């Protein structure tokens, strides 16, 4: 887009919701169908195998009309027995909040907590698992508040030494931009929302759930109503949902998954890594450091440490006139960091164009004292 042309909308380079292509937005304007109709069952049956491909699973994928947080509650409620504990790995705002979700659902919670910006190391996990038995370990793969991607693949063999300890993964801000091999790794719950790297509007959450997780749910008496896995299971086998789903967004999901699979999952993941690398290069070339510990930078959320002490709101205001927006730091990191989401259907060239506008702006505007 040229600088003189007035943008028709502001493209979101924030970690959700993100830019959704017009064609996908338009899918939501289709005429309604009843959710107990054969048309809906056909829609669900089209979406389900495509979701399974993106999750790399032959297991079921539940479709929840909620945001991703709903499936946090689902995972905690269905997998943790009353007299047992869950271990939460905490290194940012989202992992902290999931631990709170377990607590407010009456679960007994232990945490391994490290400073924001750091990843939780496999050795720390190994040590804790030697000390205590857990019904599940809760992992936020991609901490959106800090831009840290935790080493899930390295945790798995450690947790697998304890066959009774299930693995639940929040993949919300990375799913669709990074390979998560549900069956290959042997995960028990992986949950995500539509409005992040899947590049759909907000309003649905998807959760892959293992047979082992379902067996566990049978041992938990009070699983609640809305997110009860055993109830969701009764309906998923009939290509349906227990309660009225967001049908419009299901139409959009159907089309978007075709688009994602046509791009090719491996290509899509490689493009995400390239976009993230462009942000890392930009930071280095413009006198900034990345906030995350080296080697653990996210492929979808670039968190840049504001080492040059720029006036972030002024930069973002400038970007808005260009037709894009990025994000300030999360919570306590506001002012200290800023975040550029490189997820969804945007191209490497579009990310590079955005970064160029940022560099040109920063050259004109001197740093603050
Ligand atoms: C956005 C986000 C959530 C919350 O998802 P909602 O869909 O807003 O409920 C949870 N975890 C992570 C890592 C996120 O980035």
DSSP assignment of 172-240: TTTBTTB---HHHHT-SEEEEETTSTT---SS-EEEEE-HHHHHHHTT-S---STT-HHHHHHHHTTT-
Domains within the chain, CATH numbers bracketed: 11-20+265-364 (3.90.1150.10), 22-261 (3.40.640.10)
If one counts every other C-beta atom within 10 angstroms of the C-beta of residue 308, the result is 13
269 in ligand 1 pocket by Cβ < 6 Å? no
Does position 177 have pLDDT exceeding 70, yes or no? yes
User: Tell me: the pLDDT tens digits for 202-216?
Assistant: 999 999 999 999 999
Question: Which among 157, 167, 200, 168 is positioned nearest to 51, based on CA atoms?
Answer: 200
User: Tell me: the pLDDT tens digits for 265-310?
Assistant: 999 999 999 999 999 999 999 999 999 999 999 999 999 999 999 9
Confidence of residue 5 (pLDDT cuts 50, 70, 90): low
d(CA 82, ligand 1 centre) in Å: 26
Residue 70 CA: nearest ligand 1 atom is 9
Does position 144 have pLDDT exceeding 50, yes or no? yes
Q: Which two tokens stand for residue 107?
A: 């679960």
Q: Which H or E run includes 133?
A: none
Position 157 scores a pLDDT of 98
- Backbone φ and ψ of 11, nearest 5°: -80, 135
150 in ligand 1 pocket by Cβ < 6 Å? no
Position 367 scores a pLDDT of 62
DSSP 310: -
168 in ligand 1 pocket by Cβ < 6 Å? no
Q: Are 253 and 204 in contact (CB under 8 A)?
A: yes
Choosing from 75, 88, 145, 193 the residue with most ligand 1 atoms within 8 A of its CB, the one to mutate for a pocket test is 193
Position 295 scores a pLDDT of 97
Question: Which among 140, 189, 191, 192 is positioned nearest to 165, based on CA atoms?
Answer: 189
Position 369 scores a pLDDT of 47
Q: Is the dihedral of CA 152, 158, 160, 162 positive or negative?
A: negative
Position 220 scores a pLDDT of 98
d(CA 66, ligand 1 centre) in Å: 11
């Amino acid at each position: 887009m040229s600088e003189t042309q007035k943008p028709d909308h502001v493209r979101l380079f924030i970690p959700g919701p993100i830019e959704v292509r017009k064609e996908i937005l338009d899918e939501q304007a289709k005429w309604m169908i009843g959710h107990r109709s054969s048309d809906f069952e056909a829609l669900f049956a089209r979406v389900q195998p495509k979701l399974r491909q993106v999750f790399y699973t032959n297991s079921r994928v539940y479709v929840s009309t909620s945001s991703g947080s709903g499936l946090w509650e689902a995972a905690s409620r269905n997998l943790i027995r009353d007299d047992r504990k869950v271990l939460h790995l905490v290194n940012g705002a989202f992992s902290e909040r999931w631990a709170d979700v377990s607590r407010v659902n009456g679960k007994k919670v232990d945490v391994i907590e490290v400073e924001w910006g750091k990843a939780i190391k496999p050795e720390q996990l190994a040590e804790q698992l030697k000390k205590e038995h857990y019904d599940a370990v809760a992992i936020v793969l991609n901490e959106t508040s800090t831009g840290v991607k935790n080493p899930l693949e390295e945790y798995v063999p450690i947790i697998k030494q304890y066959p009774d300890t299930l693995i639940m993964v929040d993949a919300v801000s990375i799913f669709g931009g990074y390979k998560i091999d549900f069956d290959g790794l042997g995960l028990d719950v992986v949950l995500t929302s539509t409005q992040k790297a899947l590049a759909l509007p907000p309003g649905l959450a998807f959760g892959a759930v293992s047979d082992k997780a379902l067996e566990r749910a049978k041992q938990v008496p009070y699983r609640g109503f809305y997110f009860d896995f055993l109830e969701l299971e009764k309906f998923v086998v009939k290509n349906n949902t227990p309660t009225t789903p967001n049908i419009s967004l299901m139409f959009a999901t159907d089309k978007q998954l075709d688009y994602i699979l046509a791009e090719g999952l491996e290509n899509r993941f490689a493009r995400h890594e390239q976009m993230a690398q462009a942000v890392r290069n930009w930071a280095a070339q413009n006198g900034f450091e990345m906030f995350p510990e080296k080697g653990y930078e996210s492929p979808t959320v670039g968190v840049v440490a504001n080492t040059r002490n720029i006036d972030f709101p002024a930069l973002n205001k400038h970007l808005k006139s260009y037709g894009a927006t990025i994000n300030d730091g999360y919570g306590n990191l506001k002012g200290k960091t800023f975040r550029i989401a490189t997820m969804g259907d945007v191209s490497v060239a579009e990310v590079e164009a955005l970064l160029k506008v940022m560099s040109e702006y920063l050259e004109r505007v001197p740093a603050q004292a």
